[in-house]
Amino acid sequence: MATGRATLADVARAAGVGLATVSRALNGRPDVSEETTERVRRAAAALGYRPSGTARALRRGSFAALSAVVHDQVWGWWEPVLRAAASATAEAGMHLFVHPVTSGGDATDVIAGLANVPTEGVIVMGVPHQEALREECTRIGLPVVALDDSAHTLHLPTISARNRAGARRMTEYLIQQGHRRIVFVGGSTDEFVPSWGEGLFVEERLAGYREALAAAGIPFRDELVTGWADPEDESTALVGQLEELLRSGVTPDAVFCIADLVAPAVLRTLSAHRLSVPADVAVAGFDDERAALIVDPPLTTMRQPYEEMGRLAVELLQREIRGEALPVRRFELDAELVERESTRRAANSRV
Amino acid sequence: MATGRATLADVARAAGVGLATVSRALNGRPDVSEETTERVRRAAAALGYRPSGTARALRRGSFAALSAVVHDQVWGWWEPVLRAAASATAEAGMHLFVHPVTSGGDATDVIAGLANVPTEGVIVMGVPHQEALREECTRIGLPVVALDDSAHTLHLPTISARNRAGARRMTEYLIQQGHRRIVFVGGSTDEFVPSWGEGLFVEERLAGYREALAAAGIPFRDELVTGWADPEDESTALVGQLEELLRSGVTPDAVFCIADLVAPAVLRTLSAHRLSVPADVAVAGFDDERAALIVDPPLTTMRQPYEEMGRLAVELLQREIRGEALPVRRFELDAELVERESTRRAANSRV
DNA sequence: CTGAAAGCGCTTACAG
DNA sequence: CTGAAAGCGCTTACAG
């Protein structure tokens, strides 16, 4: 509330009526004479009066909000989750704040700033270091849950997809399709996406891949696991380590991309080597984000349960608000296999 | 605020101290004895006390928020704008609500619900019918600006990109590259994206295309303007009318997509006809949204000034909040040509 | 139809 | 170190 802003009392004085009358007139109650209403309206307009939402909310007692703290680096990524959280919040009769954390900024500072904000709880998206967050939330008395699949050590109830099982499922599917030489792109930390850090999901998805191979009796080969390119060049990047592999004469049966995001570069790399998808090589991803539908051919992938994840975050928060103590553990939700052209057996003829 | 929730007074009673002491203890002020602090903490915990953000905000008087009302259909679309608005809001020391409007829902109802929300102003994104919105905002006394390029009739200050000039610029560029037979995809209302409705931007971008042709002395040909496909099939859609054109023996020099979103289907259609991009046909888009970087080859496009648009929305709202009366007109911002592989003259050889 | 008063749940001088 | 009181800006019985 800016200082010097006109209040109800100012309007009342200017209009020469009582506080209550101003309130009634401005809220369009029928039990005020037209003449008075008009006078009050004019006075309010003259003073540039605008009601204080805070005071109103306090008095009416019917306002409640939740907060989503979203790191810039995961905005696009978590957009469907944010959207689901917004819907769930609205359905619960609450409202949702979005607090951005800029790339240079610190989520802890953002949370500290929440002390003055009328919010009841915090959903933190994409911030891997949870300890400081938890301390800050405890300090200002706000329940908090995290949406994250990077953190190795948890200090908060944390929601994510079941990454290991999902990757295992996809690998099993590729094996069922008859593929044995399956390259896993994005598993090495050599050429890493900075924001992924040493994300847990990398390990988990790689582990799922290995589990499926082992279960099928296919030996794991280190050289089939490659890193990824620098995301700065999203539009033109090739996957260096995949290139080397292809140049060395190894032609994979299939490529499993650790994330759909990686698929455009993988497809470009295969295409540069005159390999056709899915006729020569099957390609699969993980996430089912927009890239999966844009690439040609459309990508078979494991769909993260974005909608469920967003809703679960709101539900957990509501339980905390009601006083329930949530365990500090991962709440994992199943990813779902979505089959598209990039892995179909009934492939088109070679181009 | 849930009913029956413990208040400061409850805690004070339980701890056998005064209100003020509870407040101090819970806020970690140093001027409370450790013993008292401990007792208060315990009482608060036992009662499940959590401070009322609303009361705190009212009392401290340092809270202010803006609201973004975002239609589901434009979520992904306006995500960078929303992000910029969030940053600008935070920089101004304010906070941002996100209020989703579900596909079946009505933005006016959402705004009506804002009467009880401590917000100072509203940014409406992607809602073309402004009249009801304006009325509702006036009724509850909230300043409002729109981010929209669909509405033909304005009732609100409205921000958008300079669509006509942008399309003209792109067409000029294509002409400069030596192209004359330039197909415009997305300009017909025959095969329309439902959510685009009769969007103004469609007319504007088409008009820009025509202006550039006229200026270059290239006759406008109706049959070179085609509709687009149903977005439900995003991953596999071909552009029907473009197909017919190609089948009829017309090979364009270039294809200008009304939106980047259309480009994947256009590229698929050209590819199905063994036309290589950019060697055989140049392809350009509009928006510079993510699809532009994912398609292969990466797309030359007009970049919408998302960042500026989001920031301008916040700035205009702040001016309204300060009492300035904004004109009901379009605030247009320049789009910028981004040149990528899809139109390069120095094209690769044919595949 | 209108006004004075109480109160929403906090924080913060002010006085011990 | 602690408490009683005032007050943030509204709304809403309660009484005229």
Report the nucleotide nearest the CA of residue B61, measured to C1'. D8
State whether residue B256 is helix, strand or coil.
strand
Residue of chain B nearest A61, judged by CA positions: B1
Do the domain assignments include residue B341?
A: no
Residue A142 lies inside a defined structural domain of this protein: yes
In a domain, residue A185? The reply is yes
Query: B76 and A72 in contact by Cβ < 8 A?
Result: no
Residues B186 and B287 in one domain: yes
Identify the residue whose Cα has the smallest distance to the C1' of D4. Answer: B18
Distance between the alpha carbon (CA) of B318 and the C1' atom of C12, Å: 30
Under the phi-then-psi rule, with left for phi > 0, alpha for psi from -120 to 50, and beta for the rest, what region is B116?
Answer: alpha
Among A63, A102, A142, the residue with its CB nearest the CB of B117 is: A63
Please report residues of B whose CB lies closer than 8 A to that of A340. 235
- Does residue A82 sit in the same domain as residue A173? no
| Last residue in a domain, options B25, B50, B75 | B50
A265 with A281, same domain: the answer is yes
CB burial readout B270-287, b (16+ within 10 A) else e: bbeeebebbebbbbbbbb
Residues constituting chain A: 351
User: What CATH code is carried by the domain that includes residue B287?
Assistant: 3.40.50.2300
Contact B323 A52 (CB under 8 A): no
Model confidence band, residue A349 (pLDDT cutoffs 50, 70, 90): very low
Are residues B15 and B57 located together in one domain of the fold?
A: no
- Phi, psi at residue B281, to the nearest 5°? -140, 135
CA of B101 to C1' of C9 (A): 32
Contact between residue A188 and residue A146 where contact means Cβ atoms under 8 Å apart: no
Residues B154, B169, single domain; the answer is: no
Share of chain B above pLDDT 90, in %: 51
Q: Which of A102, A118, A321 sits opposite B54 (nearest CB)?
A: A118
Q: Considering its fold, how many domains does chain A have in total?
A: 3
Q: What is the pLDDT of residue A138?
A: 85
Which of these ranges, A30-34, A65-69, A339-343, B258-262, has the smallest mean pLDDT? A30-34
> CA A136 – C1' D1 distance (Å)?
27
Hey, are the CB atoms on B96 and A96 less than 8 Å from each other? no
In this predicted structure, what is the pLDDT of residue B160?
95
Contact at CB, A98 and B99, closer than 8 angstroms: no
For residue A344, being part of any structural domain is answered with no
C-beta separation of B242 from B269 below 8 A: yes
Would residue A59 count as lying in a domain?
A: yes
**Closest residue to A63, CB basis, from B83, B116, B141:** B116
pLDDT of A47: 87
- What residue has token string 């009358």? A21
User: Does B291 sit within 8 Å of A290, measured CB to CB?
Assistant: yes
- Same domain as A300, residue A174: yes
- Examine the domain organization and report whether A214 and A319 are in the same domain: no
A203 Cβ partners below 8 Å, 6+ apart?
none
For residue range B155-181, what is the model confidence (pLDDT) as tens digits?
999 999 999 999 999 999 999 999 999
Contacts of B259 in chain A (CB under 8 A): none
Q: Which residue segment(s) compose the domain that A312 sits in? A: 53-160+307-334
Give the 3-state DSSP-derived string for A251-313, with helices as H, strands as E and coil as C.
CCCEEEECCHHHHHHHHHHHHHCCCCCCCCCEEEEEECCCHHHHCCCCCEEEECCHHHHHHHH
Q: Calculate how close chain B gets to A57, using CA atoms only, in Å.
A: 6
Residue B314 lies in a domain: yes
Nucleotides on strand D with an atom closer than 7 A to protein CB? 1-13
- What average pLDDT does range A329-341 have in this prediction? 96
Backbone angles phi, psi at B185, to 5 degrees: -100, 125
Tell if the CB–CB gap between A298 and B236 is shorter than 8 Å. yes
From chain B, the residues in CB contact with A295 under 8 A are 294-296
Is A191 a residue whose pLDDT tops 60?
Answer: no
In chain A, what residues touch B118 (CB-CB under 8 Å)? 52-54, 56-57, 63, 118
The Cα of A218 is separated from the nearest Cα of chain B by a number of Å equal to 33
Same domain, B185 and B283: yes
Task: Name A225's bridge partners.
Answer: A184
* B172 and B245 together in one domain: yes
CATH of the domain at B7: 1.10.260.40
A177 lies in the same domain as A296: yes
pLDDT for residue A238 = 66
* Residue B193 within any structural domain of the chain: yes
Chain C bases near protein CB atoms (7 A cut-off): 1-13
* CA dihedral (A69, A71, A75, A78) positive or negative: negative
Q: Which residues, other chains included, contact A220 with Cβ-Cβ below 8 Å and sequence gap of 6+? A: A210, A213, A214
Q: For the sheet with A282-287, list strands across it.
A: A225-226, A182-185, A254-257, A282-287, A300-303, A336-338
| CB-CB under 8 Å, A117 with B235 | no
Same domain, B231 and B275: yes
Which whole number is the average pLDDT over A174-182?
A: 96
Using the CA of A37, which nucleotide's C1' is the nearest one? C1
Burial of B178 by CB count in 10 Å (0-12 exposed, 13-18 middle, 19+ buried)? exposed
Quick one: pLDDT band at residue B76, thresholds 50, 70, 90?
A: low
Q: pLDDT category, B230, cuts 50, 70, 90?
A: low
Mean pLDDT of chain B: 87
Which residues on B lie below 8 Å from A79 (Cβ)? 75-76, 79
**Protein residue with the closest CA to the C1' atom of nucleotide C13:** B20
Residue A192: its pLDDT value, please?
45
* pLDDT, tens digit (0-9, with 9 covering 90-100), for A214-230: 999 999 998 899 887 65
Structure tokens at A270: 């295969």
- B152: closest CA of chain A, how far (Å): 28
In chain A, the percentage of residues whose pLDDT exceeds 70 is 90
Within this chain, do residues A146 and A107 fall inside the same structural domain, yes or no? yes
* B237 lies in some domain: yes
Tens-digit pLDDT profile for residues A30-68 = 888 888 888 888 888 888 888 888 888 888 888 899 999
C-alpha closest to that of A125 among A93, A171, A80: A80
Q: Is residue B295 pLDDT above 80, yes or no? A: yes
Per-residue pLDDT, B198: 64
Identify from A41, A50, A277 which residue to disrupt to test chain B contact, counting B C-beta atoms within 10 A and taking the largest count.
Answer: A50
- Tallying the residues shown for chain B, one arrives at 351
**Amino acid letter, A204:** E
Does the distance separating the beta carbons of A141 and B51 come in below 8 Å? yes
For residue A331, give how far its alpha carbon lies from the nearest alpha carbon of chain B (Å): 24
